[in-house]
Amino acid sequence: MLMLNETPLQPVQPTLEMAAALSAFSRHCPELRQLGFYFDGRSDPNISIGDSAVIKFNYLVALHVGASPISNASQHIVDVADFLTAILPIGCKTIWTDGGDEASRDIDDDQSSLFGGMPLEDSQGWQSMDRLRMLWYKKLTIQRSIL
């Protein structure tokens, strides 16, 4: 478990880009079971394949994004979900923090009251991204069972 202040007490501008940081952690710490840090989820998640191949985490069960901001734009949500699907193992939960309480989302979970302390746009962005990612995992599981 590696938790690096995913929810700072004082509002700060995140300086870490999501794709670069997660790629580094997956490359150097592939055995992590839980990882949490504050990053800029608004940054473009596409990484240059020429620089380094995306390495999937082996055992990560939870990615704690804390109060990390994310863009609520549809295409950005698709890009983030696509990147996280490529780097996170199936079943890895995305967990974000609201006023000290952690909230994770499953496709059937609807507890929007948990997001009172996080900016509405960010909570909607993480919720949309997580639902799309879970749908992609379900599709992949179904495709594997057919083959």
Would you list the domain boundaries of the chain? 2-146
pLDDT of residue 29: 94
To the nearest 10°, report the CA torsion of 11, 17, 19, 24.
-100
pLDDT tens digits, one per residue of 1-24: 999 888 888 767 777 889 989 999
pLDDT of residue 139: 86
CB atoms within 10 A of CB 78: 15
Rounded to whole angstroms, how far apart are CA atoms 89 and 15? Answer: 25
Q: What is the pTM of this model?
A: 0.78
